[in-house]
A and B are shown apart, each in its own frame.
Chain A
Amino acid sequence: MEPLSNRSKKVAQKDMTFTERMYLPAVVQGLTITLKHFFKKKATIQYPEQTRERSSVWRGLHVLKRDEQGAERCTACGLCAVACPAEAITMTAGERKKGEEGLYREEKYAVTYEVNMLRCIFCGLCEEACPKAAIFLQDDKIAPARFERDEFIYGKDRLVEPLKTTETK
């Protein structure tokens, strides 16, 4: 048959020479490559003991910040939820009662605030939309893998920044 192009190669099965039939040089060659890798820098790290350094603009797990007095900054205005392209954020608002001024910064506060980490795409639009500088994506934490789906719905218990005690100050 006429070849379609002149790029085709003729395949020929040649007899191996004596040294080739010994296989020893090939084995030695392979072992040297393996040995070389012992002295190279490792491509992997020992996670979770070690963690890779992240970029300073990395967007990881959300946090709901408190102000200098320790009061929650979030007022449940809903701008993060409306900005969220994945519709991962839901909240219900409540009115602050007398005596809770130290707990919540404004008259209205979020009674519940949930972020579904399976839906979230960590785009950071909630952070940009927030008028109260309440929600941020941390650069040092990620949402870890879990077994149950409902464990990925982070409520206020896991999102709100823990109160600073005198020891950690």
Chain B
Amino acid sequence: MAKITFDGIEVEVEDGTTILQAARKIGGNVVPPAMCFYTPLKGSGGKCRVCLVKVSQGSAKDPRPMPKLVASCITPVQDGMVVENTTNEDVLNARKSIVEMLLINHPLDCPICDQAGECSLQDLSYEHGVSATRYEEERRSFNKVDLGPYIQLHMTRCILCYRCVYTADQITPERVHGVLGRGDAAEIGTYIENVVANDFSGNVIDVCPVGALTDKTWRFKNRVWFTKPLDAHRDCPTCSGKVTLWARGETVLRVTARKDQYNEVEEFICNTCRFDKKEVSDWTIEGPRHIERSSVISANHYELPVINVPIVPNLPVSTKKNLPQE
């Protein structure tokens, strides 16, 4: 076990845990953001650099600070480590610069993008970025790559986090797409026109932190904040069948895997669940999905009422009212 101090909060974690995971154990506002790191995917992380933190004391045995900011998602903790994230101005400035870097080639097409409202880069730039760009040159542009009838690729929006590559490697039986080219010519593609189609290929949509990979069956159907997220499940022979439905009225507009507060998929789902089951009757609805109040999706979004909130403590039983049961 290793004891570390993160932003002045002490936490004890197992040896070999990364700083980011230790921070997530604390939770709240001190957790560094992550664009490329994805807990269920082995080997992910260390690419986007938004999770940079300052290690002001390496360990109890060697208390020298680490010379440079380190990526918290791939740096394991050591006993007695002191880490600064939100308390260090260098870290915040570095993060601001990195957001600016990520946005250099990112098009300003949030009004068109289907990811808007649940996009990690949107949240990140809102929290850490500046509202104006200093970049005057032409942004990157690409030839359109067709990935088949289900997945839409917008290469201009890609931040090259490699999450989809790891997903295809680890979740699906074969990988047909990858990162081609080097440096600023790097792009996601299939090299020779190839359809990304196997039972679990749709998961690349869920792991994409931006709108580079989106669901073609959901393309321009609606904005995510006008839909109602519902937890639902079905008996699926290939996957767990536990999903979130994004419905409007009686129509299911989109099916995604359930994601936790760090936008990480809880259980990967198969393409049949994702693309083919678009009827409410295909699913057993469990109830509304909890959406953070800070998210735009929570606008006009209601959840099951909490019965008898104890506003006045120790209220006599006779004054309590039972809500009518449906």
Contacts and interface: CB of A to CB of B under 8 A. Distances in A.
B280 interface: no
A75 B108 CA distance: 13
Contacts of B300: 87
A82 B299 contact: yes
B220 A95 contact: yes
Given A75-B112, A131-B110, A108 B226 contact: no
Interface string B108-147: 0111100010000000000000000000000000000000
**Secondary structure class of chain A's binding surface, majority of residues:** loop
B320 to A, nearest CB: 34
B296 interface: yes
Given A75-B112, A77-B112, A131-B111, A82 B296 contact: yes
A107 to B, nearest CB: 6
B226 A93 contact: no
Contact of A81 (B109, B110, B112, B226): B226
Interface residues on B, range: 10 to 19
Interface string A69-101: 000000111110110000100000111000000
A124 B222 CA distance: 23
B219 A132 contact: no
Interface string B300-319: 10000000000000000000
Interface string A100-135: 000000111000000000000000000000011000
Contacts of B296: 82
Given A78-B223, A106-B112, 6 more contacts: A77-B112, A78-B226, A79-B111, A82-B223, A87-B300, A95-B219
Nearest to B112: A108
5 nearest CB pairs, A to B: A77-B111, A78-B223, A93-B220, A108-B112, A75-B111
B110 A93 contact: no
Given A77-B116, A82-B296, A93 B111 contact: no
A60 to B, nearest CB: 25
A28 B300 CA distance: 66
Contacts of A79: 111
Contacts of B222: 78, 93
Given A81-B226, A93-B222, A107 B299 contact: no
B225 interface: yes
A38 to B, nearest CB: 57
Contacts of B219: 95
B223 A106 contact: no
Interface of B: 109-112, 116, 219-223, 225-226, 296, 299-300
B153 to A, nearest CB: 14
Nearest to B296: A82
Which of A76, A78, A94, A132 gathers most chain B CB within 10 Å? A78
Contact of B220 (A81, A82, A108): A108
A87 B42 CA distance: 45
A84 to B, nearest CB: 11
B217 to A, nearest CB: 13
Nearest to A77: B111
Nearest to B108: A131
A110 to B, nearest CB: 10
A131 B225 CA distance: 17
Contacts of B110: 77, 131
Contacts of B221: 93
B225 A78 contact: yes
A77 B223 contact: yes
Contacts of B109: 106-107
Contacts of B225: 78, 82
A18 B111 CA distance: 85
Contacts of A82: 223, 225-226, 296, 299
A95 B225 CA distance: 19
A77 B109 CA distance: 10
B263 to A, nearest CB: 21
A78 B224 CA distance: 9
B168 to A, nearest CB: 27
Nearest to A87: B300
Interface string A14-31: 000000000000000000
18 contacts: A75-B112, A76-B220, A77-B110, A77-B112, A77-B116, A77-B223, A78-B222, A78-B223, A78-B225, A78-B226, A81-B223, A82-B223, A82-B225, A82-B226, A106-B109, A106-B111, A131-B110, A131-B111
